[in-house]
Amino acid sequence: MTVVQIIHRSLQDLLLMKPQVFHDSRGFFFETYNERELAGLGIHYRFVQDNYSRSRKNVLRGLHYQIRQPQGKLVRVVSGEVFDVAVDLRRSSPTFGKWTGHTLSAENKHVLWVPPGFAHGFLVLSEWAEFEYKATDFYAPEHERTILWNDADLAIEWPLSAPPELSEKDARGPAFREAEVYSEPLLAPRPVAAVLDPPVQRSGSSPSSIPSPAVTTATRCRVCEHPIEPFMSFGQQPIAQVVVNPEESRAHFTYELKPALCASCGLFQLVDVPRPEILFNDTYPFFTGTSQLMTSHFRGWAEELLARVRGVRDPFIVEIGSNDGTLLSAVAERRVRHLGIEPAKSVAEAARQKGVTTLEAFFGQETAQRIRREQGPADIIVAANVIAHISSVADVAAGIATLLKDDGVFTFEAVSLADVIRNTEFDQLYDEHVFTFSVRAVCNLFQRVGLELVDVTREATHGGSLRYVLTRQGRLPVADTVAAALEEERHLGLEDAKTYQAFAQRCAEIRDGLRELLEKLHKQGHPVIGYGATAKSTTVLNYCGVDSRLVEFIADNTPMKQGKLTPGSHIPIRPPQAFAERNHEYTLLLAWNHRAEIERKEAAYRQRGGKWILYIPTVAVV
């Protein structure tokens, strides 16, 4: 469908398009559907059903929608003429409760894209009209809803010449005020997995060209294979770490962010997960060493690891997901044999420049066998906030068991599920965080490969993390901390589905409250600056519908991100000096887990009356 122009964008995400028509003496030709062209306009959807109707003059069909399995519709008229109407039912949308109407006809050949989350209907203007649309989800009569066509609040201006001909269902539709609407951001229930131009982009700009399958969808737990279902959705999300070049106008890859809990083994996991090659590529922009807090934390951890191998002959320390070598650089300085395993070329090269021996690879049993064969078993295997990133975590666990010495220790840190639920830290959920571990889930996972959890301690990093220590079963006594942590999780209700339903409700309240606050400040003329273009900020900005209208720019100290735009929300990212130079009152603290470090650094901002906007655990201005 070669598009000559976008004719109209009256409502958020809705597009009225005019295709290019080729005429000659025989007649005309045009494409009614082209996946590549639509993706270029940001329409990344798989269409699963085509519908076709014929109606006489003055027939009015609508306003229809599905409250579950919401359908996006690509509509056109094959014969005749209709007045086509769409109503935005997404509470998170800036055009919620607004309607738009367009004349579609066989003559003008216009095509209307109505995204999921809209009610839709049409009035026939010609003697007869044949109407066709493609849908992104299947018809589900149990979820179908109707809104009264002449609702007083909507006040749709139908071009009627006589009372319309309605079905009984449409004539009895409820008023808009009484209708069910979408409380969560809803886009495509079935995002297209094959986006569109091979091959995977491994350098330069963001990975807008992804071969199939770009997303893996789990219907069963990735460890125990028990059936799982999502308990909420954060809507369509871009890749969290893929910042956008300002000159890029084409659409970028998205997936649906929806978590689930395995009722059998207790593993909290994302249902849809982008392929690792999409997430961890040549341009991966996260460098651990840019944070003084994390640098200090990892160097302290490295000292503890070195103390564990003191007296061991030719010890060997392996780090999974070693990033820029911040942790292992302290090991390298002591001339202790080590190996960092890191799949992202950009950060692996930075580690080598620090003198850290680095293998550019993904870790699993095959990689573990190779390392053991070439360098022998590891005395210590360490992983800092990476085990949760690997969807094939069962293979990772098997690889750890393969590589570890009989008396070796495996230790790792990960964001705590207890803290995420207790503090409503919903932005901890993004593409890289395939799993959010509980102590129970860690025990269940590693018992399968003969490893036992012997100690667990709380760390303040990343908004609340746990450090786990595991050995082969029976090698070390189990500390009391393990039983205490399991009891804390039971008390918090981490095994109860109602806990997660309440979490979803609190997430929606934070979303609505933050959006309301930012809209209020915008209307009052107060500029808001963001602080920290973190991966977690991608979730909150896109879930809450925050863009450059509400946040002027985001200050971030990562050079690779500066001068770019945030993924999805397209907010400019500027260096920290831009923050200091902008005389503003309100700052949205996106890197809230580094709040203490940031407030020390930006003491001058506070002294001149600056205020921080927080959203974890609730929306507040401090």
Token pair recorded at residue 393: 């975590």
Closest by CA to 286, choosing from 404, 433, 108, is 433
Alpha-carbon Rg for the chain, nearest whole angstrom, is 27
**Assigned token pair, 558:** 């990562």
What does DSSP assign to residue 561? T
Tell me the one-letter amino acid at 94: P
* Residue 387: DSSP 8-state: G
Strand partners, 341: 320, 359
Question: What's the Cα-to-Cα distance from 285 to each of 241, 412, 529, rounded to whole Å?
Answer: 7, 22, 21
Spatial separation of the C-alpha atoms in residues 274 and 371, rounded to whole Å = 27
Q: How far is CA 294 from CA 326, 380, 442, in A?
A: 9, 21, 24
Tell me how far CA of residue 59 lies from CA of 55, 141, 560, in angstroms. 6, 21, 57
Q: Where are the alpha helices (DSSP H) in 90-224?
A: 168-171
Based on the residue annotation, tell me whether 64 is a catalytic residue of this protein: yes
Two tokens, residue 593: 């887990």
In sequence order, what are the residues at sequence separation of 6 or more whose Cβ sits closer than 8 angstroms to the Cβ of residue 532?
A: 554, 555, 556, 589, 590, 591, 594, 598
Catalytic residue among 45, 133, 255, 468: 133
Rounded to 5 degrees, φ, ψ at 79 are: -145, 135
Catalytic residue among 64, 110, 338, 594: 64
CB 331 within 8 A of CB 312: no
Of 79, 81, 82, 165, which is closest to residue 120 (Cα–Cα)? 82
User: Among this protein's residues, is 133 annotated catalytic?
Assistant: yes
Cα–Cα distance for residue pair 222/232, rounded to 1 Å: 19
Question: Which residues does the annotation mark as catalytic?
Answer: 64, 133
